[in-house]
Each structure stands twice: as structure tokens, then as C-alpha cells.
Amino acid sequence: MRHLPIIAALCLSLAPCSLIGQETASILVNVTGSDGSFVRHGGVVNLYTIAGVSVAIGKMKDGQVDFEGLSEGRYSVEVIANGYQRVIQEADVALPGERVQVYVAVKPDSGAGPVPETSGAPGPAANAREEPGTAPARRGNKLERAWMPPDVDESTPAVEWNVACPLQKVQDEAAKRVRAFVDGVNRISATEVLDHEVIDQHGRTSRRETRKFSYVESLQEIKPGAYRLEEYRNGTTGMNVFPEHIASVGLGALVMIFHPAYRDEYEVSCEGLSRWQGSLAWQVHFRQKADRPVRLRQYTVAKQVFPVALRGRAWIASDSYQVVSLETDIVAPIPQIQLKAEHITIGYAPVKFHKDQEELWLPQKAELFLDLGGRRIRRRHHFSDYLLFSVDEDQKIAAPTVSKESETAPAARPNF
């Protein structure tokens, strides 16, 4: 069976990382009812510029309206459906050629007539939320999920008793460190070792391979509040260097959740003062807001982009306010691409460079558990041998070569 290329990416904007080469952009509006299923009929969607100028009007078909031929800019999406309250939601088109998906949840209008029928199709996972008291969306059958780490919302790790958390200060100071991270990653290279495993139905490893790359990252602000991330492995941004036709990129940069450009898009709470590897750290929980655009993570399958809303927990050092560890789960599955679950853990540590005795906090390891399209995958990304450099604008990275190591090769050693 031939698998389509899948890119699990951190894109830092509404753009699919410049992977779609069309000249004009498009916005696909998905309209759902309160139960998460698509609104079947009886509605229209109006598209305006942010200044209120009408751009287009579309009639809903199976809960969707597709607007094409758009230019960059911010738009206002107005949904009017029989039996539902009117909803207005913003959408950003950051780059030419991108395809933006907008999910709008409408509520029944108590003063209106009967609510229109809804289709049995699954609702948009990116903005779906569990009702209070229900189990996290990821868990499902616990025996089926036993090969993955526990969901971040299954339990809350212990914290120090009766210690008040200065959440605003923690967020502000962490944001300063993330700004330094953005500056730092554009000046470093590293060795990356990727351990890839395919997990069978019994939770055992059925296939394993290791690949080694020369790694360079570019994280740039392309416009106020929007960043573009590019990762070079052995001199290429191509996705064919990854096993299983699945590219996992941008994991280490998930710390951008705490960047000032993105942090207001998450509900953040401080659970208290915890201990992380013997040191004190503030334990912070976050979750994508349902009424804000999903901009940090997405899947691209056959040139279709599926934003992924995240929830998770981070540990922020109480003395330095550096993010030392972070883990995430998806808010809800995405049935359209058979994404049942995704769990990510990332560890950061200080790296000292001889030049100017500079110290940067950088990713040391990232682990990904993925249940996608009937495949269960576990990946470990290890980063070591960091080097600090400066690159001229016209400097080119070497031509790509891929190194493949057998299962019997020595295990990679993370740089702690």
C-alpha cells in the first residue's frame, strides 16, 4: 500500500511552511454544531477584510465553504446558519499560496426555530473540547494506548504545598528566554540522531532504524507576530530523509508557545512549584483557546493542511525562568487523516560555547509518539555537538547526503 507523504510540522503561522506552491491563498471554513458534527445545510458564510469590505459570500455544503484566490492579510469570517447564533471569527493569511483552515463552532439559537440537521461526519478535531468531567480525548481504550506515555491530563504531578505561583512574572520572564532562544537557534548547528520505531498491535517494536544528520535550523520573523521555521538536515529541507514517509519537524521549537506572539492563544495556569531533576521549577499547564487560530502545529497530507490544537504541561526553572521540559497532547483526534493520538516530550539544557563564553538553552532530546493512519510510531530525536557560527546571507549549505545506520549500530548518546 502506498502511503502519502505526511508532514507533522511546527509552522509558527497559519501557513503550511511554504509547502504548497500556489500563487494565491485560500481559506476553508468548517462549520460545526455544539456536538462537534458538521452543520449540514441552511447557512451562508460571508468573508470580509478586517476593515469590513466584503470579499465573497459562500453557501455551506456539508458544513464547509471554500474561498479561493485570496491575497495575504487578515480576514473576518461571518457564519449565519438557520437555527444558530451568528458567529464572527478572524482568520490570518500570512504568506502567498497558503491554505488556511478555519473551524467555527455555532451555538443553537434558543429563540429560533428547529435546529437544522447535522451530518454524522466527525467534527474538526483542532477546536474540539471535552466537556468537564469527561476523560481526555486521547485516551480511548487504555489497553490500546498502553504503549504511549500517560496523557498530560490523566493526573497532575505533585507540587510543593502552599506555595503561591506568580504566573504573570513566570510568563513574562519565560517570554524573555524564548526570545533569546529564537536568536540563538539561527546561529547554531548540531548533530541529530533519529531513532525510529514501528510499534505492533501488542506494543512491541516490529521495525527499527537509526538515521544521522547534520542539522541546521532557521527561525525568522517574516512579519510582525508570524514566524517561519526551516530545518536543514544534511543540507536539505526535503522530507524524503524521514522514514515511513512521515516528517517530524519543529519539535524543539514548541517552546514558542510561551513567545509573546503566541502565548495569548493559550489558556495558561500555574499548578505550583515542582521539582525537575533535583531543581525547583514552576509547573505550568496550557491549552489552545477554542476561539483563537491554531498556528503552531499542523499536519500536511496530500497538500491539505490540518491544524493541530495542543494542550500540555511545561516546567520552567524557578531561578532562571528557562523552559527545561515540555510535553504535549492533541486536544482531540483528527479523523480526516486518522490521527488518533500524538504525544511529544522535549527536554532543554544549557549549552556553553567557547566564543565569548556564551550559553544558550537548546533542545537536547525530543520524543514523539504517533498513532496515525493505522500506524504506531515512536521517534527519539537526540541533538549533540552544538556549534556556534555566523552565516552570510549568500552562504549556501552543503549538498544533501543521508546516513542510514543499521539496527545493530551503537546507540546514540544525547548531549546532556
What confidence score (pLDDT) does residue 142 get?
Answer: 58
Series of mean pLDDT values for 10-residue runs along the chain (416 residues): 51 34 74 80 82 80 87 86 88 81 85 38 32 39 76 92 94 95 87 95 90 92 85 89 88 93 95 92 96 89 87 96 97 92 95 81 94 92 88 38 38 28
Give the CATH number of domain 14-123: 2.60.40.10
Q: Residue 118 corresponds to which cell in the numbers above? A: 447535522
What confidence score (pLDDT) does residue 222 get?
Answer: 85
Count Cβ atoms within 10 A of the Cβ of residue 27 and give its class: 0-12 exposed, 13-18 middle, 19 or more buried: buried
What confidence score (pLDDT) does residue 392 get?
Answer: 41
Full DSSP string of 315-351: EEETTT--EEEEEEEESS-BGGGTEEEEEEEEEEEEE
pTM: 0.65
Answer whether 14-123 and 167-405 agree in fold. Answer: no
Enumerate the H helices of 50-203 as residue ranges: 167-185
Q: How many residues does the chain have?
A: 416
CA–CA distance, 296 with 179 (Å, rounded to integer): 16
What confidence score (pLDDT) does residue 389 get?
Answer: 78
User: Thinking of the domain 167-405, which architecture would CATH place it in?
Assistant: Clam (2.50)
What confidence score (pLDDT) does residue 415 get?
Answer: 28
For the chain, the structural domain boundaries read 14-123, 167-405
What confidence score (pLDDT) does residue 356 get?
Answer: 66
